[in-house]
Amino acid sequence: MKTLLLFFLVGAVVVSQIEACGQCSTNHPQQHYCISDFAVRVEILQSKLDSTHEMKVIRARVIDNLKLSRNKKGKIIDFYTSSSFCGTVFYTGREYVITGSKETWRDGTKYLLHDSCDFGKEWNDLSPQQQKGFTRKYARYCECKIEPSRDATEIKVEDLSFENTYRGARTYWTPDNCYYNPHKSREFDDVEDCEEEYSYCAPGRGGECSWQLTPDYEECFTHRDDYVMVASSVSDGVYPELCIVLPRRRRKACRKRAREYAAQLEEIEILPFY
């Protein structure tokens, strides 16, 4: 009986921790940078448990001081992180970009905290645009506001509360107003979160903030919209005709992609695009 009770208690703890992992808003890397107290590129040297505070303490060498009040490039720092299941997994010898907050223990000692909702990713896993963002771009444009997201927004661009001016926007995304809908991207296979991977939010000539149209971003954006429109109509067997909505010079390429996507989507359950 005691064994069974212990099993349920442990299971309850695991479930509660997993649920806690899902409470984080999905922020763009630029948001993570701008709202954080610090951001650094580090090489992990050591990880151990601090039993006093029931947290992990990570020792690392600072490779690049991306956002920290004092320049610690080349120096050794310690930062704390949760000992729960969620959050960044750190491996010794690898390089990471992390963000976090500056906290204070009860005795007045200050420390750096990388929480489970903070940004943490291996440097080599970042796209070139993300690497450039952390080292140069994000810091310049923190005045631009990107709304965090918890759910996929089903609103189409023509029904948004602001006017969409980007002609290539045809489904659930637009560069205007730095509109961010990452969860919708994740509903479809073979598409990327184009805003996260390939762009950053910055003001244009008129002062209004929008996703910057880097070549990789525009290519990703077009692929995603094409894919979603084709995927949303493939169940009706009319996907090639959908290409008529595109400019004449792009219809042939769209029909070719439509056939390729249809072959990939044969075994995937697709929701109609209305």
Q: What is the DSSP string of 161-223?
A: SS----TT--SS--SBTT---HHHHTTSTT---HHHHH--EEE-TTS-EEE---HHHHHHHHH
86 annotated as a binding-site residue: no
Cα separation, 227 vs 264, in Å, equals 11
**Residue from 262, 171, 265 nearest 222 by CA:** 171
Pairing assessment for the beta strands 95-104 and 38-50 based on DSSP bridges: antiparallel
Cα separation, 129 vs 144, in Å, equals 18
Annotated binding site for Zn(2+): 21
Annotated binding site: 21
